[in-house]
Amino acid sequence: MQRQVALIKQSLFDQGYLDEQFMELEELQDDANPNFVEEVSALYFKDSARLINNIDQALERGSFDFNRLDSYMHQFKGSSTSIGASKVKAECTKFREYCRAGNAEGCLRTFHQLKKEHSTLRKKLEHYFQLARQAGPKETARRPK
Amino acid sequence: MINSGHGRGPDSGSNSDPFPAGLRVLVVDDDPTCLMILERMLMTCLYRVTKCNRAELALSLLRKNKNGFDIVISDVHMPDMDGFKLLEHVGLEMDLPVIMMSADDSKSVVLKGVTHGAVDYLIKPVRIEALKNIWQHVVRKKRNEWNVSEHSGGSIEDTGGDRDRQQPREDADNNSSSVNEGNWRSSSSRKRKEEEVDDQGDDKEDTSSLKKPRVVWSVELHQQFVAAVNQLGVDKAVPKKILEMMNVPGLTRENVASHLQKYRIYLRRLGGVSQHQGNMNHSFMTGQDPSFGPLSSLNGFDLQALAVVGQLPAQSLAQLQAAGLGRSSLIKPGMSSSPLVDQRSIFNFENPKVRFGDGHGQTINNGNKQMSLLHGVPTGMEPKQFAGSHMRVQQQITGVRPGQNVQSSGMVLSVADHLPRGGPSMLSSLGQQQPMFSTSVSRRSDLTGAVRNSIPETNNRVVPATHSVFNNFPADLPQNNFPLASAPGISIPVSASYQEEVNSSDAKGGSSAATAGFGNPCYDMFNNFSQQQQQHHNNKLNDWDLRNIGLAFSHQDTASASAAFSTSEAYSSSSSLRKRRETDATVVTAHGQNQQPPSRSLNHLNHVFMDGGSVRVKSERVAETVTCPPATTLFNEQYHQEDLMSALLKQEGIPSVDNEFDFDGYSIDNIPV
């Protein structure tokens, strides 16, 4: 079970869903805060869902206020970076570039992709945490080899 | 959200933890994910962490617990307030080291952090290793303060100094002991020389540890400081002499020295905008009236001081206003209102007195002195001074526009009359009632949008009115700018900012509303103003003024508490100020706030202005306040400016003025928000 958990985590890293920052977060986890990473993840997804909503609405309006979109995305990127969500972060960067270029279509496309990445990551992490909890607390704190 | 610090160090809860454990960190970030991660990391470093997701909240926290934190970490991009603004406020008011952080690693932003005085800049994602060493900034700062005091001729005994120096070094396990030693030696030799000359000793200097008690620069204290500096001349002001002049028991040369440093930094920033203007102001002021001269300069400095003090202005303003206007707790919402009100009242007094004869005939004759003080502000006679003072006052209070101040004071009255919006009613109401102010202020905050909208309206109205007024003192306007900018370029920037703000009444209001307190708004306003000034020329001042006035009106109506308020406050403050006294500190702030991307210099300018304005207001108002019972409770709590102003007024020796301005038909309610 624990090995399974470790493997899953490893694959997340290997596939580029997560980066070293996630490991940093795991380092912060200890006996006093055994579920820290999971808590942070939950917080991240909650907050980013809100951001995604805002961006969705802004895009739907069709007015394409690039400044505003860029600022939303800056926030999004900040959170994603902090949690180590590298694919999401990459999409954020792309989105911002399109914003700066004033490329509405590019923004839309990228945002669509971003949402996909975001929800994929969320599912994977949820699965991972679930398993980790089942496997035992120690597992989550272990770094992938 | 704020979590009180969780101390995880061995001595959590005590301030005497050996470095770095137990370091009290305040971390500000609107991103909850980052905030949580940072908190965790900092706690792992054994620091005592308090997290906060709003800049305004952070500022009020810092103000409430003057010595409650050692260092602040703040994000750059925050919705309610620009991280750099927060940085400046903290630097001025609390003199704490601030670390900026952001996912943005572009050089320009990092440079901005540097120029705004951040002690460090971290790129997100922040790693715990980066946080482990933040204590060095705290130590470094304390050391520098020590050095400064030494340089200024602190009366630290050589041995004591030695001990002191060594202690920090040892405690901090600092590798830069050699540097410090060098500093210490040079400073101590200087100190010796100074000691010979200086009779005053800093008896209260706590040379025993790094943790010397932080001096809180109250509004009065700052006023005194600024007054002393002005008398000495900002270039020649040395801590020792300042200390002598201030004659405050318990204040050490070291305190003065470090405060002077900060003040100078502000001046420098402001000076960047329009140095020559500042010079002119000085000349103006001195020429016109000795009393004004110092005042003007004082105002400018006061603004800065206020900026520094932050809290002071708010309080002082509040007090002043309360006293002057005899209004009670006009401002209910956050501090922002109070300052505005206070300022307004203060200004109102002055303006009416000074010049209102023209416009309203109600010229407040609270006291010749007061008028003279205010002179800087409105009287055509001393437009310069008045302008300067006005600017300051205004700025402090509501970000009065510098140029306007001088004239605005007079004009305000007249404008008030003209302003359909309620200019006249506003003025009267403003002058007379702080409540109006507060309500307007509060309204502003609530109606950020409204404010904005109102601004344009007011502008239109004001313009015509003010124009006329301005015409009366054509010369004044330009001069006003100068005097206002006792700090170089202060006035101008202020005006400029006003203009911009006025011009861009639109959205500005909301953006910078974040300033936490009154003091903050001032800064913002100034900042904006200064920026604007740079962009605009004095010519525009007139227009601005008018607009400002209009804005002020509109602003005043709005509530001050909310962020919107801050911006709106700036507007309203300015208008109210103008009307009253050109105490547009709030306006200034509002303007400042609106102009989110203020340059540093501008900010400083704004600050300067504001401080100067508010300070002046205080001084002038002292007399007034005496007579008028502090009606605004709001102010008292929030605005140091009141205190500052009263202190100033006291210093000025202005006879109590009749705070009851008879602003014809001013009614806050009338002011469209």
Q: Hey, are the CB atoms on B36 and A43 less than 8 Å from each other?
A: yes
The SS3 call for residue B193 is: helix
| B125/A81 Cβ within 8 A | yes
CB contact under 8 A, B33 and A83: yes
Question: What mean pLDDT comes out for the span B319-335?
Answer: 42
Does A7 have pLDDT greater than 90? no
Beta-bridge partner residues of B585 = B398
Q: Which one is predicted more confidently, B176 or B97?
A: B97
- B203 or A86, which is more confident? A86
For residue B36, give how far its alpha carbon lies from the nearest alpha carbon of chain A (Å): 7
Angle at Cα B23 formed by Cα B181 and Cα B145, nearest 5°?
Answer: 35
Residue predicted with more confidence, A114 or B403: A114
Query: Which residues, at least 6 apart from B392, have a Cβ–Cβ distance to it below 8 Å?
Result: B296, B298, B299, B300, B302, B303, B376, B400, B405, B484, B486, B490, B608, B609, B610, B611, B612, B613, B614, B615, B616, B617
Partners of B36 on chain A (C-beta within 8 Å) are: 39-40, 43
pLDDT at B523 over 70: no
pLDDT of residue B236: 78
d(CA A114, CA A68): 17
Question: Which tens digits make up the pLDDT trace of B179-202?
Answer: 444 444 444 444 444 444 444 444
Separation CA B523–CA B504 (nearest Å): 18
More confident residue, A7 or B356: A7
- What average pLDDT does range B342-359 have in this prediction? 41
Task: Kindly determine whether residue A82 and residue B125, on different chains, have CB atoms separated by under 8 Å.
Answer: yes
Tell me, what amino acid is at B640? H
pLDDT tens string A102-142: 888 888 888 899 999 999 999 988 888 888 888 765 544 44
Kindly tell me if the per-residue pLDDT of B240 is higher than 80: yes
Whether chain A has a CB inside 8 Å of the CB on B126: the answer is yes
Residue B100 pLDDT > 90: yes
Nearest to B376 by CA among B242, B487, B458, B539: B487
Contact B128 A24 (CB under 8 A): yes
Check A79 against B126: CB less than 8 A apart. no
Give the closest residue to A94 by CA, choosing from A77, A118, A119: A77
Residues of A in contact with B128 (CB under 8 A): 24, 27-28
Q: Measuring CA to CA, which residue among A128, A145, A144, A111 is closest to residue A1?
A: A128
Query: Which of B364, B353, B322 is closest to B339 using CA atoms?
Result: B322
Q: Check CB contact of B37 with chain A, cutoff 8 Å.
A: yes
> What value does the mean pLDDT of chain B take?
54
Which of A40, A47, A78 is opposite residue B124, by nearest beta carbon?
A78
**Which pTM was predicted?**
0.42
DSSP labels, B380-432: SSSHHHHHHHHHHHHHHHB---HHHHHHHHHHHHHHHHH-TTTHHHHHHHHHH
pLDDT at B73: 92
Per-residue model confidence as pLDDT tens digits over B241-254: 888 888 878 888 88
What gap in Å lies between CA A34 and CA B80, rounded to an integer?
33
Characterize the bridge pairing of strands B120-123 and B98-102.
parallel
Q: How far apart are CA B177 and CA B310, in angstroms?
A: 33
| Confidence (pLDDT) at A105 | 86
The pLDDT, as a whole number, for residue B543 is 42
Taking only the tens place, the pLDDT of each residue in B449-506 is: 333 443 444 344 433 433 333 344 444 444 443 433 333 433 333 333 334 333 434 4
Chain B hits for A21, Cβ within 8 Å? 125
What are the tens digits of pLDDT across the range B538-593? 444 444 444 444 433 434 443 333 333 333 333 444 344 344 443 343 333 334 34
